[in-house]
Structure 1
Amino acid sequence: MTARHEQIAAELRRAIQREEYAVGSRLPTETELATQYGVSRGTVRQAVAALTAEGLIGSRQGARRVVLARGRSQSFAELRSFAQWAQAMGRTATGHVISQQYHPATAEDATRLQLPPGTPVLGVLRLRGLDGEPVLVERSVYADWISPAVAAIDPDCASVTQRLYDDTGLVFAHGEHVIDAIAAGARDAALLAVRRTSPLLRVRRVTTTHDGRPVEWSDDRYRPDAVSFTVHNAIGHNALVRTTAG
């Protein structure tokens, strides 16, 4: 059974997405929300904390919460798979393998996965959805040592990360992400139901185990109206690194 604070968070999330609370506007006070939903202020506080973690709202001590964004956002404060992120937001993630095949590691594959060129690796083209809506095209290349386990996974598996953990104990522990924009080609446009040359948010990533062994590298292309990313930094800690394009 879904907890009450999760239900309230879901209702507020939908209200923000419908622009009942526009970006820049303030949410009702905790007391007003508690009265509206017939719960304690503590329950409201839990619901609001979930939306704050998603980047939808912001607050400072003693002030009412302000709507920061209408879209779904993903923080880089921790490493999460697409399915884990969706679940944390109360969404339903889907996945479908369009194609997968082994191929000799290219120079780029070899560099990113720290393998000799020509090593057999598994390339997977996967379409990911959120609440039944296509939002992401993944082009992943898996290292030779994990490829057989990936190839055995059902093509409609919603979370490859969870399945690999269940089957092999593998933990995706570290990730490096490079974010830029790219125009949609014919295939991406068809898969994501957007116009050709539409801008897509591209995230190129390399994921490794706890001991730094590369598991996969991927070129992920998101519909920009479906997902945004947030990076929280401070004077003492800055997780965001700026580099020139390339």
Structure 2
Amino acid sequence: MIQCQAIVVALLAAIFAILVNILKDWEFQTDHCLLICATSLITASVTGFLLASLMIAVIILARKAGVNPDNCSTLIAAFLGDISAVVMLSGTAKLLYNVRHIQWIAPTFIVIFLALLPFFIFIAKNNEYTRDLIDRGWYPIIIAMFISSIGGFIFDFAVSIFETIAIFQPIINGVGANLVAVQASRISTYLHQRCALGEKPPISCKVNTDICQLPHHVFMGSNTNVRTARLLLI
């Protein structure tokens, strides 16, 4: 499932970047477009595989050590995900750019990943744990990809005006995103352990199950998630 999402999202991100560049410069270069698509596919697929393997190992070790995996696995994924993606992206782009005179390399990588996509989809559809994600798990990932891409262009515009803002970007975005990721992971695990998909938690969990919530309910209450939210806010 991870490879399915990686290939599709990487291809969409590459196409989006190509379209924006065309609208910006009114220029289309086939070799550059193929280079972007191949680099994006290789980076997403390899980093997705490595991070997924690492997360499995971290969760297993955390469970054996008696540590809640939600408190450490999310942070490790966020930290290593950014570094590995940047290193892999820059390294792959440099290698493909250095051999750009061999015109069949980039298209070959693209064809290979597109040919593997139906195979990965077939495996995911035949797995009871990922079958539903094939149909309903694309919306948040694709929306997040577009938001991230738009944020990148906004950041590029901001850097052209405030050059030193790039130094603080990892701190500004990283701290907030990591805290939210930890809380979201804990809430997901909390709900997964206590109720089925689409059902509300039982009354014994002391969770306000109203669909419309007031903002202060996030930090006021006695259940585990509210106490964690207050701790993360501090």
TM-score bin (small chain): under 0.3
Write 1 or 2 for the structure with the bigger share of strand. 1
Larger radius of gyration: 2
**TM-score, normalising length from structure 2?**
0.25
**TM-score, normalising length from structure 1?**
0.24
Write 1 or 2 for the structure with the bigger share of helix. 2
